[in-house]
Amino acid sequence: MHGLLDRVMLMLKVPFVPDSDANGYYIDEINEPTFFPGRSAGIYLRNDGQAKRIGEFGMLHPTVLDNFELKYPVSSLELNLEVFL
């Protein structure tokens, strides 16, 4: 999923800016019940010093898999593209 995110952001000409105050995007670990603990990250867009969460990705929690009757592990990526319009 991280590779797919990197490709989308590359096409949008948004640089990856870990540990920097520059404009671009970065990821940070999140703790959401939808995802397996320690296997998810929020996607943040930094613009003019302000960061906004624009998405998330990770491995779905086994309870979510059971609720949707999914038999195999699933990773998910959600990204709000509206902020780029």
Indicate the class that CATH gives domain 2-84: alpha beta
pLDDT at 20 over 90: no
Percent over 70 (pLDDT), the chain: 100
49 burial (CB, 10 Å; 0-12 / 13-18 / 19+) is: exposed
Give the pLDDT confidence score for residue 79 in this predicted structure.
Answer: 97
Our measurement of the distance from residue 27's CA atom to the centroid of its chain's CA atoms, rounded to an integer in Å, reads 7
CA–CA separation, 85 vs 27, rounded Å? 21
Give the pLDDT confidence score for residue 18 in this predicted structure.
Answer: 86
pLDDT digits (tens, 9 = 90+) for 34-75: 999 999 999 999 998 899 999 999 999 999 999 999 999 999
Give the pLDDT confidence score for residue 85 in this predicted structure.
Answer: 87
